[in-house]
Amino acid sequence: MILPEIGHFALVLAFAIALCQAVFPIYGYYTQQEGFMATAKPLAVMQGLALALSFGLLMYGFLSHDFSLKYVADNSNLDLPWYFRMSAVWGAHEGSLLLWALILALWGVAVSLLSRGIPEKMGSLVLSVMGMIAVGFLAFMLFTSNPFVRILPFMPGNGADLNPLLQDPGLIFHPPMLYMGYVGLSVAFSFAVASLISGEFDSSWARWSRPWTVVAWAFLTIGIALGSWWAYYELGWGGWWFWDPVENASLIPWFIATALMHSLAVTEKQGLFRRWTLLLAIAAFSMSLLGTFLVRSGVLTSVHAFANDPERGVFILGFLVVVVGGSLTLYAVRASKVSTPGEFGWISRESFLLFNNLLLTVMAVSVLLGTLYPLLVDALGGDKVSVGAPFFNAVFVPLAAILVSGMAFGPLSVWRQSDDPKLFRPLIVTLIVSILGGLLWPIIFENEFATGTAIGVSLAVWVAIATQIDVFRKVRAYGSLKTLLARVERGIIGMWMAHLGVAFMIFGVVMVENHTEHRDLRMGAGDTQVLGRYDVRMKGIEIIQGPNYMADQATFEIYEGEHLYKTVYPQKRRYNASSMVMTEAAIDSGFTRDLYIAMGEPLGGGDWAIRLSVKPFVNWIWGGAFLMGFGGFVSITDQRYRRRAKKSGASAEAGGAAA
Amino acid sequence: MNRVLVWVPLAVFAVLVGFFFRGLDLNPGEQPSALIGKPVPEFLATDLYTGRSLSNKDLPNEAFLLNVWASWCITCQVEHPYLTELSQTLPIVGLNYKDTIPASTNWLAKLGDPYQMQISDPDGRLGLDLGVAGAPETFVVDAQGIIRLKIQGEINDRVYERDIQPILEEFTP
Distance CA B99, CA A577 (A): 10
The per-residue pLDDT for range A383-419, each reduced to its tens digit, is 555 566 778 888 889 999 999 999 988 888 888 887 7
Does residue A654 belong to the interface with chain B, where contact is any CB pair within 8 Å?
no
Contacting residues for A583 by C-beta, under 8 A, at least 6 apart: A235, A236, A570, A571, A572, A573, A598, A599, A600
Residue A306: the pLDDT is 36
Is the separation of the CB atoms in A107 and A40 below 8 Å?
no
Distance CA A371, CA A365 (A): 10
The number of angstroms, rounded, from the C-alpha of B32 to the middle of its chain's C-alpha atoms is 13
Residue A657: the pLDDT is 33
Is the separation of the CB atoms in A159 and A577 below 8 Å?
yes
pLDDT at B122 over 60: yes
Contact A378 B98 (CB under 8 A): no
CA neighbor of A359 nearest in space, from A272, A259, A288: A259
Residue of B nearest to A293 (CA): B20
Distance CA A238, CA A598 (A): 9
DSSP string, A112-129: HHH-TTS-HHHHHHHHHH
- Please state the pTM of the whole predicted model: 0.80
Residue A413: the pLDDT is 87
Written out in words, the top-level CATH class of the domain with range A517-619 is mainly beta
CA neighbor of A188 nearest in space, from A298, A134, A264: A264
Residue A297: the pLDDT is 57
Is the separation of the CB atoms in B76 and B69 below 8 Å?
yes
Residue B130: the pLDDT is 79
Give the mean model confidence (pLDDT) for residues A220-243: 85
Contacting residues for A12 by C-beta, under 8 A, at least 6 apart: A142
Contact B6 A335 (CB under 8 A): yes
pLDDT at A659 over 70: no
Strands (E), A275-417: none
Q: How far is CA B17 from CA A280, A376, B28, in A?
A: 19, 11, 18
Contact B19 A372 (CB under 8 A): yes
| Global ipTM | 0.80
Does residue A131 belong to the interface with chain B, where contact is any CB pair within 8 Å?
no
Distance CA A291, CA B63 (A): 41
Distance CA A32, CA A120 (A): 12
Residue B157: the pLDDT is 83
Q: Nearest-CA distance from A137 to chain B in Å?
A: 19
Contact B23 A375 (CB under 8 A): yes
Q: How many residues would you count in chain A? A: 659
Selecting from A301, A317, A325 the residue whose C-beta is nearest the C-beta of B24 gives: A317
Does residue A300 belong to the interface with chain B, where contact is any CB pair within 8 Å?
yes
Would you call B123 exposed, middle or buried from its count of C-beta atoms within 10 A (0-12, 13-18, 19+)?
exposed
Distance CA A70, CA A77 (A): 12
Give B7's contacts in chain A (Cβ within 8 Å).
Answer: 332
pLDDT band at A155 (very low <50, low <70, confident <90, very high): confident
Residue B133: the pLDDT is 66
Give A332's contacts in chain B (Cβ within 8 Å).
Answer: 6-7, 9-10
The per-residue pLDDT for range A321-361, each reduced to its tens digit, is 999 999 999 999 888 777 766 778 888 888 999 999 999 99
Alpha helices, H only, A32-119: 34-37, 40-63, 70-75, 82-87, 93-114
Residue A63: the pLDDT is 94
Distance CA A476, CA A473 (A): 5
Is the separation of the CB atoms in A278 and A192 below 8 Å?
yes
Is the separation of the CB atoms in A437 and A465 below 8 Å?
no
Mean residue pLDDT across chain A: 86
Give the mean model confidence (pLDDT) for residues A561-583: 84
The number of angstroms, rounded, from the C-alpha of A633 to the middle of its chain's C-alpha atoms is 14
Selecting from A70, A297, A376 the residue whose C-beta is nearest the C-beta of B24 gives: A297
Give B27's contacts in chain A (Cβ within 8 Å).
Answer: 298, 308, 310
pLDDT at A382 over 90: no
Selecting from A313, A314, A578 the residue whose C-beta is nearest the C-beta of B72 gives: A578
Give A378's contacts in chain B (Cβ within 8 Å).
Answer: 23, 26, 28
Is the separation of the CB atoms in A556 and A571 below 8 Å?
no
Contact A298 B27 (CB under 8 A): yes
User: Greater confidence, A606 or A122?
Assistant: A122
Angle in degrees, 0-180, between the axes of helices A169-198 and A274-297, rounded to the nearest 10: 140
Q: Which long-range contacts (CB under 8 A, 24 or more apart) does A108-116 make?
A: A108/A21, A108/A44, A108/A47, A108/A48, A108/A134, A109/A44, A109/A45, A109/A48, A111/A44, A111/A187, A111/A190, A111/A212, A112/A40, A112/A41, A112/A42, A112/A44, A112/A45, A113/A41, A113/A45, A115/A208, A116/A646
* Phi, psi dihedrals of residue A158, rounded to the nearest 5°: -145, 160
Contact B28 A300 (CB under 8 A): yes
pLDDT band at A640 (very low <50, low <70, confident <90, very high): low
The per-residue pLDDT for range A435-457, each reduced to its tens digit, is 998 888 888 877 778 888 899 99
Give B137's contacts in chain A (Cβ within 8 Å).
Answer: none
Burial readout B67-103 (b: 16 or more C-beta within 10 A, e: otherwise) = bbbbbbbbbbbbbbebbeebbeebbbbbbbbbbeeee
Q: Nearest-CA distance from B71 to chain A in Å?
A: 10
Give B22's contacts in chain A (Cβ within 8 Å).
Answer: 379
Give B134's contacts in chain A (Cβ within 8 Å).
Answer: 578
Q: Nearest-CA distance from B87 to chain A in Å?
A: 22
CA neighbor of B80 nearest in space, from B102, B122, B49, B113: B113
The per-residue pLDDT for range B42-73, each reduced to its tens digit, is 888 888 888 888 888 888 888 899 999 888 77
For the four alpha carbons of A162, A165, A167 and A170, in that order, the dihedral sign comes to negative
Give the mean model confidence (pLDDT) for residues B86-92: 89
Is the separation of the CB atoms in A624 and A501 below 8 Å?
yes
Is the separation of the CB atoms in B68 and B97 below 8 Å?
yes
Contacting residues for A655 by C-beta, under 8 A, at least 6 apart: none
Q: Between A and B, how many residue pairs show a Cβ–Cβ distance under 8 A?
A: 86
Give the mean model confidence (pLDDT) for residues B93-114: 86
Distance CA A299, CA A164 (A): 24
Domain with CATH 2.60.98 in chain A: 517-619
Domains in chain B, ordered, with CATH? 28-171 (3.40.30.10)
What is the amino acid identity at position A162?
Answer: L
Selecting from A331, A376, A384 the residue whose C-beta is nearest the C-beta of B6 gives: A331
- Residues in B whose CB is inside 8 Å of some CB of A read 2-3, 6-7, 9-10, 13-14, 16-17, 19-29, 31-32, 70, 72-75, 77, 98, 124, 134
CA neighbor of A254 nearest in space, from A273, A241, A269: A241
CA neighbor of A408 nearest in space, from A425, A394, A420, A391: A425
* DSSP-based three-state secondary structure for B60: coil
Residue of B nearest to A575 (CA): B72
Distance CA A258, CA A245 (A): 20
Q: How far is CA A61 from CA A86, A106, B150, in A?
A: 10, 22, 35
Give the mean model confidence (pLDDT) for residues A631-646: 73
Contact A325 B10 (CB under 8 A): yes
Give the mean model confidence (pLDDT) for residues A60-87: 90
Selecting from B13, B21, B28 the residue whose C-beta is nearest the C-beta of A328 gives: B13
Q: Is the peptide bond before B136 cis (omega within 30 degrees of 0)?
A: yes
Contacting residues for A528 by C-beta, under 8 A, at least 6 apart: A535, A536, A537, A538
pLDDT at A200 over 90: no
Q: How many helices, marked H, and strands, marked E, lie in chain B? A: 7, 7
For the four alpha carbons of A243, A247, A249 and A251, in that order, the dihedral sign comes to negative
Residue B167: the pLDDT is 84
Contacting residues for A127 by C-beta, under 8 A, at least 6 apart: A21, A25, A40, A41, A43, A44, A108, A111, A112, A190
Is the separation of the CB atoms in A391 and A384 below 8 Å?
no
* Residues 320-359 of chain A whose Cβ lies under 8 A from any Cβ of chain B: 320-321, 324-325, 328-329, 331-332, 335-336
Selecting from A283, A301, A336 the residue whose C-beta is nearest the C-beta of B28 gives: A301
pLDDT band at B32 (very low <50, low <70, confident <90, very high): low
A610 bridge partner residues: A521, A599
